[in-house]
Amino acid sequence: MRRIKYACLEQTIHFLLNEDLEDSIAKKAVQDEFAAYKAKLDRSKVTYKITDETTLPNGSLMVKIKRQYNSYDCGDYLD
């Protein structure tokens, strides 16, 4: 018999610019999308830790995040 004790994900998410928008508006949209993503995690009560947040030269955003998988405990993985 197996039982999952801890389950976490490590993700790299690239928030891309919308090429149909003006540059400054597209950059703001990327920041807004990232803020909405974090708010969604908070509303869902997902435990997470942002390990790296990099703004690329074109204005897009690269984020490395460790987050809880489903409702499993993460143990000390996020410490």
Dump pLDDT digits (tens) for 1-53.
998 888 899 999 999 999 888 988 999 999 999 999 999 999 999 999 999 99
- CB of 54 within 8 A of CB of 71? no
The strand pairing partners of 3, in sequence order, are none
User: What's the pLDDT at 79?
Assistant: 77
Residue with token string 């920041």: 31
Q: Give the whole-angstrom CA distance, residue 30 versus residue 59.
A: 8
Segment holding 5, helix H or strand E: none
pTM of the predicted model, to two decimals? 0.85
CA 20 from chain centre, in angstroms, equals: 24
Dump pLDDT digits (tens) for 21-31.
898 899 999 99
Give the list of residues 6+ apart from residue 55 with CB closer than 8 angstroms, or none. Answer: 61, 62
